[in-house]
C-alpha cells in the first residue's frame, strides 16, 4: 500500500494538483464565439451590419484565446504550478478529448453511410404503406 502523497505547494496546498484562479476568459471566449456565429448568420442572410458583428466577434474570440493561453503559460512557466501530476492530467485530458472526437465523427460517418446504402428500403417502405 502506497503512503499518501503530501506535497505542500507555494499556496500551502496538501495535494499536488493545481486549482486555477477565477478567470474572465471562458466567459469572454463564449461571448466571442456567440457573436462570431451570430454575425455570420446575419451576414449570410444579408442583414445590415452583419459582417461588422462577425468581425467584432472574431476579434474578441482571438483576443480572448490569446490572453487565456498567456495566463496558462504564465501559470506553467513563471509560477511553476504545472508539476508532473498536472502535466499527466493535461495529457490524459487531451487524449480523452481526441478519442471522443474520433468516436463522434465515426458515428456521424457511420450514420451517413447507413442512410446512403439503406435509403432505398426506407423509401420503398414509405411509399407502399
- Distance from C-alpha of 79 to C-alpha of 125, rounded to nearest angstrom: 65
pLDDT of residue 76: 85
Which pLDDT value is given to residue 84? 86
**pLDDT-flagged residues of the chain (< 50):** none
Domain spanning 1-82: which CATH class is it, in words? mainly alpha
Residue 61 near residue 107 (C-beta atoms within 8 A): no
Burial class (CB in 10 A: 0-12, 13-18, 19+), 1: exposed
pLDDT of residue 17: 74
Q: What is the pTM of this model?
A: 0.64
For residue 82, the model assigns a pLDDT of 81
Query: Where does residue 35 rank: exposed (0-12), middle (13-18), buried (19+ CB within 10 A)?
Result: buried
Task: Phi first, then psi: give them for residue 19, nearest 5 degrees.
Answer: -95, 120
Amino acid at each position: 500500500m502506497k503512503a499518501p502523497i503530501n506535497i505542500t505547494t507555494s499556496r500551502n496546498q496538501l495535494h499536488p494538483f493545481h486549482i486555477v484562479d477565477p478567470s474572465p476568459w471562458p466567459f469572454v471566449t463564449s461571448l466571442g464565439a456567440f457573436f462570431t456565429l451570430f454575425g455570420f448568420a446575419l451576414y449570410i442572410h444579408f442583414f445590415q451590419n452583419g459582417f461588422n458583428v462577425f468581425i467584432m466577434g472574431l476579434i474578441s474570440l482571438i483576443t480572448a484565446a490569446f490572453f487565456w493561453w498567456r495566463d496558462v503559460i504564465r501559470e506553467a512557466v513563471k509560477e511553476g504550478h504545472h508539476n508532473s501530476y498536472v502535466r499527466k492530467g493535461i495529457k490524459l485530458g487531451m487524449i480523452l478529448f481526441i478519442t471522443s472526437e474520433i468516436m463522434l465523427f465515426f458515428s456521424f460517418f457511420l450514420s451517413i453511410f447507413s442512410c446512403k446504402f439503406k435509403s432505398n428500403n426506407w423509401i420503398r417502405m414509405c411509399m407502399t404503406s
